[in-house]
Chain A
Amino acid sequence: MAELQFREALRDAMTEEMVRDENVFLMGEEVAEYDGAYKVSQGMLDQFGPKRVIDTPISENGFSGMGIGAAMMGLRPIVEFMTWNFTFVAFDQIISNAAKMRYMSGGQLKVPIVFRGGNGAAGQLAATHNNSTEAFYTNVPGLKVIAPSNPDDAKGLLKSAIRDDDPVLFMESEVMFGMKGEVSDEEDYLLPIGKARIAREGDDITLVAHSKSYWLAMEAAEELAKQGYEATVIDPRTLRPFDTEAVIDSVKQTNRLVIVDECSPYGGIASEVAFRIQSQCFDHLDAPIARVTAKDTPAPYAKNLIEAWMPTVDEVIDASKKALYVN
C-alpha cells in the first residue's frame, strides 16, 4: 500500500492505462502545458508527449464530440472537464451521441470513452459553479456513472472505466484532490464497476453516501456510535449501475435507511435509492427512509448560506436519529 493523494491516484490510473494501451489518450483544458487545472495530469505531457496529452480550447461541446468520434473509430479517449459544471455546454454530445450510439447503431458501434473531472459543490463558488451533476447523467440509459470517495477506489475504478467499452462518466471533487489515502499497489489494480463498498458495519441503521458525502456519513456514524447507535455505511461508488443488493442486504439487518446525497433533492440520487428500497424491501423497514441533500435552491455565494445549503454532519445525525426514533 502506498499513501497517495486523490489526484495522484487518478494520475497513476491514467498513466498505467496509457502505458498499457496506445489507443488511450487524454485531452482537456489545461491538461498538458499547465499540468492540469488541478494538477491531476501533472507530468503526463512530459511522459507521453503532445500527441497523447492534448490541450484543448474552451470548447467543451467540440472536444467532447471529437472524443466520441474518435472512440467510434476505436480510440479510447479520456476527456477531462475542468469541472462537471462546464459539461452543460457538452450535454448534447454526451447524451445524444455518447449514450445512444451503441443502441442506435444496433450494436455496430461502441463508444469507449471516459469523461472525468471535479463534480459537486466546492465552496463559495455560487450558482453556476456548484452543481452536483450526477442525477442529470444517471437519468440517461447508455451511460455509466462513477463517483468514488477515496484514492484507492479512484484508482481501481478509473482503470476499469478506461477499459470499459461503454461511455463512463467519472466524477471527482475539487475539494478532494488533495485528500490522501492508502492505495493498493497491486499490479493492474482493477475494481469492478457497479459494486458498492461496505465501509463500516453496524446493526442499527444503514447510511448510503457517495463521493464527498461519504465522509459526512462516516463522521455521523462515529458520532452516532458515541451515542450508542451503530451504523452500517455503504459507499455505492458507482451510481449507474447501482448496487441495490448491497443496500437491501444491509437494510434487512438494520431496518432503517438514510441516504446522503449532495444533489438537489428533486429527483436526486437519494430519490432513486429510496424508491428501490421501499419497493424491494418494504416489509423490512421500521421507519420512513430519510435523505439529506443540498437545499432546493441554486447554490448561494455567501459563506453562511452555502454552509446551510450543503448537507452537514449534523443533518445526517438528526435524520438518523429520527429514523431511529430517538432525540
Chain B
Amino acid sequence: MADETKNPPRKRAAKKAAPKKTSASNGKAASPQTVPDAADFRMYTEGGHTHESLGLEKDELLEMYRSMMLQRRFEERAAQMYGRQKISGFLHLYIGQEAVSTGTIHALEPTDPIITAYRDHGLGLARGMTANESMAELFGKIDGSSRGKGGSMHFFDVEHHFYGGHGIVGGQIPLAVGLGFAGKYKGTGAVAVGFFGDGAINQGAFHEAANLAALYEIPVLLVCENNGYAMGTSVDRSVSQPDLYKQAYGYNMTGALVDGMDVFTVYHAMRELAKQAREENKPALVEIRTYRYRGHSMSDPQKYRTKEEMEAKKNEDPIIKLKAYLIDHKLADNAQLDAIDDEVKAEVNASVEFAENSPYPPLETMYEDVYVQEDYPFIV
C-alpha cells in the first residue's frame, strides 16, 4: 500500500481484558467485573494559561480581541436590523460563544477547512469574511457572500476555507469528515474542523461520521459547541451521556473537554488536538462548553433558563475576560482597546450602509448557481 510509509500502522486500542474472576467468598456466583479500557480523554478546563506560555505575541492578542469584538458588534447590529425588518427569516446569534471561534481560528492554519451549522456568523467573521459581505447577505442583497441566496444560516467563504453554514441539524458533520478525507487523500496536511451544537450530537449523522473519521483515520476535529441548550431543550434532558466528550470512547478516538469561555484555553486545546490530527491522522471529538447569551433565534421567550443562570454566565463573558487580561498584563490600555472598539463599530456601521445600498439580486440570478450548465433547461 502506497500509504503505508506515510501512515504509521494502525494502532488499535488494547484489547479488552477478559473479565477478572473474583473469589466469591460469600458463596454466590461471581458476577463479571467491569474493566474499562483506557479511554483517551483530555481535560482542557484548568485555564491559567498566559500569552507567554502559549507563545502568543501582543499583535496576535490584539487581533483576537478585535475579532471577538467584531463578531459581537456585528451581531448586535444584525439583531437591531432584524427588529427593523431589514433582515428576515431565522437569525441565530453567536453572542457569548466568540472564544470558541476565535481561539480555534487562531490555533489552525488559515488553509484548514472549517464547517459549521446555521449559527455561523462568528466563525465566518473570525475566518475573514468581511462585515460588508456578511451584512449584505443578511439583507439578502447581491453583494452578499452568497449573492443573497443563503441568508443568515448559509454563510460561505470558500476563499477563506470556510465551507459554510448549514441549516439541517447535524448535516454538516459527515461533510467535515469528507473535508478531512480530501486533505489526507491529496496529502495537503490540512486538518478539517467540523462544528455542531449539543443538540446535533443526537443525530445519526454524528454517530456515522464519528465512526468513519476514526475508522479511516481522518484528520478531522469534530467540535461540539455545547452551549447548554438545543432550542429549549437542555443537554441533560436530551442526551443519555451528557458528558458529550465521553462519546468519543465508543468510536475509539480522543475525547476532549474544553472550557469555551476562555479564548486561551480554546486556543491551547485546539492547537494540541489539531497537531495530533495533522501529524498522526487522529481525529478527536472535542466538547467545548460555552453559552449563548441570546435566545435560540429571534423569537425565543427563553423560559427554559433562569435569570440567575444567565447573569452568572455573563460574568464569564469571554470578551471581558480577554480585555481584563490585556490590561492586567499591560499589553494594552483602556484607550487602545476603546480605539479598537470604535474601529469595529465603524466597520459594522459601514456594513449596514453597504448592505442598504447594495441592490437586490436581479430576478434572473434566481436561475444561476443551480447547475454549472448555463443553458440548463429549467421548467418555466
Q: Which residues of A contact B (CB under 8 A)?
A: 29-30, 33-34, 37, 55-62, 85-86, 88-89, 123-129, 265-266, 295-298, 300-305, 308-309
Q: Interface residues, chain B, CB within 8 Å of chain A?
A: 88-90, 137, 140-141, 146, 148-151, 153-154, 166-171, 199-200, 202-205, 230-233, 237-239, 303-304, 360-361, 363, 365-367, 370, 378-380
The 10 residue pairs across chains A and B that have the minimum distance between CB atoms: A301-B151, A302-B140, A128-B167, A57-B202, A302-B148, A124-B89, A34-B232, A57-B238, A124-B88, A296-B379
Q: Given A124-B88, A126-B153, are A300 and B361 also a contact pair (CB < 8 Å)? A: yes
Q: A309 vs B148: C-alpha distance in the bound complex, in angstroms?
A: 14
Interface of A is mostly: loop
Rounded to whole angstroms, the CA-CA distance of A304 and B379 in the bound complex is: 20
Knowing A57-B233, A59-B202, A124-B151 touch, does A304 contact B239 (C-beta < 8 A)? no
A contact residues around B232 at 8 Å (CB)? 30, 33-34
Chain B residues with CB under 8 A of A301: 89, 137, 140, 146, 148-151, 154
Residues of chain B with a CB closer than 8 A to A298's CB: 370
B166 partner residues in chain A, CB cutoff 8 A: 128
What is the total of A-B residue contacts with beta carbons within 8 Å?
133
Query: How far is A59 from B370 in the complex, measured between Cα atoms in Å?
Result: 30
Q: Which single residue of chain A is at the shortest CB-CB distance from B140?
A: A302
Residues of A within 8 A of B169 (CB): 58, 86
Contact between chains at A305 and B363 (CB < 8 Å):
yes
Complex: how many Å from CA A308 to CA B362?
11
A129 touches B237 (CB 8 A): no
Given A57-B239, A58-B200, A295–B167 Cβ distance below 8 Å?
no
CB distance from A263 to the nearest CB of B (A): 12
Shortest B341–chain A CB gap in Å is 31
Contact residues in A for B88 (Cβ distance below 8 Å): 123-124, 303
Q: Give me 8 other A-B pairs in contact (C-beta within 8 A), A89-B170, A123-B89, A297-B378 excluded.
A: A33-B233, A57-B202, A58-B169, A58-B200, A59-B202, A124-B140, A126-B154, A304-B363
CB <8 Å contact, B149 and A58 = no
Interchain CB contact under 8 A, B154 and A58: no
Closest to B361 in A: A302
CB distance from B353 to the nearest CB of A (A): 18
CA distance A297 to B140 in the complex (A): 17
The CA-CA distance from A169 to B20 in the complex, in Å, is 53
Q: Is the CB of B149 within 8 A of A129?
A: no
- Please name 20 pairs of A and B residues whose Cβ atoms are closer than 8 Å in the assembled complex, sorted by A: A55-B237, A57-B230, A58-B170, A62-B204, A89-B168, A123-B88, A123-B89, A124-B140, A125-B151, A128-B153, A128-B166, A295-B367, A301-B140, A301-B146, A301-B151, A304-B140, A304-B363, A305-B361, A305-B366, A308-B366
Select A58's contact among B167, B203, B379, beta carbons within 8 Å. B203
Give the interface centre of A29, A56, A300 by most chain B CB atoms within 10 Å.
A300
Contact of A125 among B89, B203, B204 (CB under 8 A): B89
B225–chain A nearest beta-carbon distance, Å: 14
Contact of B167 among A61, A89, A126, A297 (CB under 8 A): A126
Q: Which residues of B contact A60 (CB under 8 A)?
A: 203
Q: A59 contacts which chain B residues (CB < 8 A)?
A: 202-204
Q: Which of A29, A128, A298, A302 has the most CB of B within 10 A?
A: A302
Q: What is the distance, in angstroms, from A267's C-beta to the closest C-beta of chain B?
A: 10
Checking B89, B170, B360 against A126 with a beta-carbon cut-off of 8 angstroms, the contacting residue is B89
Q: Which of A33, A34, A56, A302 contacts B360 (CB 8 A)?
A: A302
What separation, in Å, do the CA atoms of A205 and B360 have in the docked complex? Answer: 37
B233:A29 contact, CB within 8 angstroms: yes
Candidate in A56, A61, A62, A124 with the most chain B CB atoms within 10 angstroms:
A124
Q: Which chain B residues border A125 with CB–CB below 8 Å?
A: 89-90, 151, 153
Residues of A near B90 (CB, < 8 A) are 125, 129
Q: Is the CB of A85 within 8 A of B140?
A: no
Q: Name the B residues within 8 Å of A300 (CB-CB).
A: 148-149, 361, 366
Whether B204 contacts A61 by the Cβ 8 Å rule is yes
CB-CB under 8 A from B151, the residues of chain A are 124-126, 301-302
Q: Are A58 and B304 in contact (CB under 8 A)?
A: no
Choose among B153, B154, B168, B231 the residue that contacts A88 (Cβ–Cβ < 8 A): B168
Residues in B with CB closer than 8 Å to A88 are: 168
Q: Would B167 and A296 count as touching, CB distance under 8 A?
A: no
CA distance A61 to B206 in the complex (A): 12
- Closest residue on chain A to residue B153 by CB atoms: A126
Alpha-carbon gap, A300 to B150, bound state (A): 7
Residues of B within 8 A of A128 (CB): 153-154, 166-168
Give the residue name and chain of the B residue nearest to A126 (CB): B151
Q: Is the CB of B149 within 8 A of A302?
A: yes
Most chain B CB within 10 A, of A57, A123, A127, A309, is at A57
Per the bound structure, the CA–CA distance linking A301 and B202 in Å amounts to 28
Query: Complex Cα distance A86/B230, Å?
Result: 15
Q: Do A55 and B233 touch across chains, with their CB atoms under 8 A apart?
A: yes
Contacts of B167 in A (CB 8 A): 126-129
Residues of B within 8 A of A127 (CB): 149-150, 154, 167
Complex CA–CA separation, A34 to B232 (angstroms): 6
- Residue of A at shortest CB range from B231? A30
Of the candidates B137, B146, B199, the one whose C-beta lies within 8 Å of that of A57 is B199
Once the chains are docked, how many angstroms separate the CA of A296 from the CA of B89? 21
B85 to A, closest residue via Cβ: A303
A266 CA to B370 CA, complexed, in Å: 15
Q: A126-B151, A126-B153 are in contact. Are A297 and B168 (CB under 8 A)?
A: no
Say yes or no: A58 contacts B153, CB within 8 Å. Answer: no
A296 with B378, Cβ < 8 A, contacts A37-B231, A59-B202, A124-B89 known: yes
Chain A contacts for B238, CB-based, 8 A: 55-58
- A122 closest partner in B (C-beta): B89
In the bound complex, how far is the Cα of B379 from the Cα of A60, in angstroms?
A: 32
Give CA–CA (A185, B233) in the complex, Å: 35
Residues of A with C-beta under 8 A to B361? 300, 302, 304-305
Min Cβ gap A11→B in Å is 18
